[in-house]
Amino acid sequence: MLSKLINLLITLVFSFGIYGAGGLVYDEYILQQVCPQILGIPACYIIMACLIIPLIAHIFNLSNKIYFTGTGIALTIATYGTISQLIGITDCPKTSNGIPMCYISFLIFLTLVVLKWINIKMTNA
């Protein structure tokens, strides 16, 4: 029962992330230069891929390596963005309330990693 709840929470967190990142991806596509770039690729495109691919792995019970690779890459990017924002190196895109999206991305991916880790531990117990 608890495992099903955690699976649902994971799916909801992914949905929230995709909804939020979707607007940013759209803005980047239309306006350009909205998202910081990583190796010439807008970071929001990378984050979106890191939401969609692990979600597919989660829903279809594919390899946990796929899940943790995608969420791990995004968590690394979000951690870098958060630290850079805090010390003034980078200016992350902000929500309409002025909250840097890298902070939200960090919390989303940290939550996804922790929930999946708990889910795996519960399943293997």
For residue 125, name the pLDDT band (cuts at 50, 70, 90).
Answer: low
CA distance 106 to 82: 7
Nearest CA to 11 out of 46, 60, 44, 65 is that of 60
pLDDT digits (tens, 9 = 90+) for 31-77: 988 888 899 999 999 999 999 999 999 999 999 999 999 999 999 99
- pLDDT, the chain, mean: 94
pTM of the model: 0.92
Dist. CA 7–CA 80, nearest whole Å: 28
CA distance 95 to 98: 5
